[in-house]
């Protein structure tokens, strides 16, 4: 199986889960706006409270790094996964997908494949 360089946008529960899963077989870079989340992941500390994620980061061999530098990693990636928040507004009864749209436009600008 060919190794693919994968970038995951969003270091919340979904993004970290996907990154940890994929990093067992592929080089994965997790991108987040918050430097403290990237620092934790690079120290193999989970930024989210989850027993399995914490265990995988502590014990498994993972090809995983984190950064806030989306420009550089997107240029290097074969695939990009978008796992940023979609906040639900109960008063307006809709999901705010502006973060997803912003990442999508950024990724398309560098000509990458969305997963």
pLDDT in tens, 11-29: 999 999 999 999 999 999 9
**pLDDT 10s digits, 76-105:** 888 889 999 888 888 889 888 888 888 888
Q: Which residues contact 108 (CB under 8 A, 6 or more apart)?
A: 114
Please name each of the domains of the chain with its CATH number. Answer: 6-114 (3.40.50.720)
Phi-psi category of residue 51: left, alpha or beta, with phi > 0 → left and psi -120 to 50 → alpha: alpha
Distance from C-alpha of 49 to C-alpha of 87, rounded to nearest angstrom: 20
How distant is the alpha carbon of residue 103 from its chain centre?
A: 11
Confidence label for 114 from pLDDT (cuts 50, 70 and 90): low
- What single DSSP character describes residue 21? H
- Tokens standing for residue 115: 């997963």
Region 24-39 average pLDDT = 96
The whole-model pTM stands at 0.86
Does pLDDT of 115 surpass 60? no
């Amino acid at each position: 199986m060919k190794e693919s360089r994968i970038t995951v946008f969003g270091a919340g529960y979904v993004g970290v889960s996907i990154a940890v899963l994929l990093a067992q077989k592929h080089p994965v870079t997790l991108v987040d706006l918050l430097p403290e989340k990237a620092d934790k992941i690079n120290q193999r500390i989970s930024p989210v409270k989850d027993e399995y994620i914490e265990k995988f980061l502590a014990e498994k061999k993972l090809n995983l790094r984190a950064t806030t530098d989306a420009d550089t990693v997107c240029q290097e990636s074969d695939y990009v996964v978008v796992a940023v928040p979609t906040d639900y507004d109960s008063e307006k009864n809709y999901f705010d997908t502006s973060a997803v749209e912003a990442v999508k436009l950024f990724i398309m600008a560098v000509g990458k494949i969305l997963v």
